[in-house]
Chain A
Amino acid sequence: MTETDSAVCFVCILLIPAAVAGIAAVNAGLGRARNAAQSMLSSMCFAAAAAIAYFVVGFVWQSYVGGPSRVLLIGGKPWDWIGAARPFFLGLDLSSGAVAPLFGMMSAALAAIIPIGGGGERWRLGVGCASAAFLGGVTFPLFAHWTWGGGFLARLGQNYGIGRGFIDAGGAASIHAVGGVTALAMAWILGARRGKYLPNGMPSAIPGHHATFVLGGCLLAWIGVLGLDCAGAILFDGASWRVGPLVVVNATLSAGAALLAVAWITRLRYRKVDASLSANGWVAGLAASSAGCASMAPAGAMIVGLVAGAIVVFGVEWLELHLHVDDPGGAVPVHLLAAVWGVLAAGPLARNAGPDQWLAQVAGVATSFGFVLPVAYGANWMLNRFLPQRVSAEGERHGMDLHELGAGAYPDFMSYQDE
């Protein structure tokens, strides 16, 4: 990587906190007013816990390409399973332009706030920080090592001739799917919100309190994901800074196509455009295009976005109505289902990839569900046994703001009438 690449990469990484702020605003806006301050504070605390856990131990497991790692020989081929760097970033000279650990820390913070969408309005702040620390210290860095740190997924092409190895420059799997899988686990463990399901099993609508907050959050997320994708493309796809315009065009086309697809489908189905679903569609388009952001042609990115939008509309309905997953922020369809689609689509749509590329992408998706989901579910289930993660029924009725923070986000007005 040249000096210019490093400098561009560093500037792009500085944009990633905008994605954190955007997703936090989306999650807060899609919840009720009585939980808004707790949701925003949870985002900050979860991001902080994950970043600290990554600094303390996470980077040890993630390491970097060419860095220390543990390798097994399977079938005569090296399988790089886990990094072996030093804790607390020891041995790294951060003042000489080492951008990979900085990228990892920001990505861990972003991944850690995604589950708030699935566990919103009922997830206690303190124990949630412990869950975020586990994600930032264990599940995210392990997956990131396999994808970005020279691990076995990245080397599928080199070792077995399977395409270019697993393609995920912008973190559709490493960030969005890891966060989305954890969101699904949390939605299962916490159960549905009070009043979400009627005794006959039918879901009731619990609308968010601030559509402007949600839509503004999407615009912030756009800026952050552009930086994330550009930095990931330079760091992990072997691209130079010159690939930046392609990455920006791809992310914007995908998000735009997803938004318009959702607006069109909801207009057809409900006679009105649904603002919150459209916002989720925008973020889903950004998540889906991240995998092949530097490898796809712009037309391919549009196709990815169109399908991601449809996935959001039907995924939300399917999860809520048939699987009874109460996901107030739409984290599962947006960050898991759409991202998985983006990862799979990067196989046939990526340029300079062989016909076997789909198998590398399938191996990456299989790792999300086969490793991250059981580990995230098991760890959070165990944590829940000792420290209940769900707020008490009384706390949920009063609202998380009053119950956990002692004051509401909007003290000047009463805005809920559903009790």
Chain B
Amino acid sequence: MKLAGLLLLPAGWIIVLAAVALLPSALTRNAFALAGCSIEIFGLALVCGTHAGFKKVSR
């Protein structure tokens, strides 16, 4: 899950950049940029959840 989360982070970033570079209409550009951000947030949540699960017990 951690790896999946770490891969979703650049995936979301690329969607944001692609939206900015390739979509001419402001509406679709904004929508795709927000979708890319949502994917990044989901990836971040996955990584956070993985670490919160197994790092909480002190050595």
Query: Which A residues are within 8 Å of any B CB, using their own CB?
Result: 74-75, 77, 79, 152, 156, 160, 162, 188, 191-199, 201, 322-325, 356, 359, 362-363, 365-367, 369-371, 373-374, 377-378, 393
Contacts and interface: CB of A to CB of B under 8 A. Distances in A.
A323 B57 CA distance: 12
A145 to B, nearest CB: 15
Contact of A363 (B20, B22, B26): B20
Contacts of A324: 51-52, 55-56
A143 to B, nearest CB: 12
Interface residues of B, number: 31
A369 B9 contact: yes
Contacts of B37: 362, 365-366
Given A193-B58, A325-B52, A369-B44, 4 more contacts: A77-B21, A359-B30, A362-B37, A370-B10
Contacts of B16: 362-363, 366, 370
Contacts of A198: 58
Contacts of A77: 21
Contacts of B21: 74-75, 77, 79, 160
B57 A201 contact: yes
A219 B57 CA distance: 36
A356 B25 CA distance: 12
Interface in B26-44: 26, 29-30, 33-34, 36-37, 40, 44
B49 to A, nearest CB: 8
User: Sorted from nearest, which 5 A-B pairs have the closest CB atoms?
Assistant: A370-B13, A324-B56, A366-B16, A324-B52, A188-B51
20 contacts: A74-B22, A160-B21, A192-B56, A196-B58, A197-B56, A199-B57, A201-B56, A324-B55, A359-B33, A363-B33, A366-B12, A366-B13, A366-B16, A366-B33, A366-B40, A369-B44, A370-B10, A370-B14, A370-B40, A371-B13
Contact of B13 (A195, A196, A369): A369
Contacts of B40: 366, 369-370
Contacts of A199: 57
Contacts of A370: 9-14, 16, 40
B9 A374 contact: yes
Contact of A374 (B6, B48, B51, B59): B6
A194 B59 CA distance: 6
B57 A162 contact: no
Contact of B58 (A192, A365, A374): A192
A363 B58 CA distance: 37
A262 B39 CA distance: 32
A370 B13 CA distance: 5
Contacts of B51: 188, 323-325
A193 B58 CA distance: 7
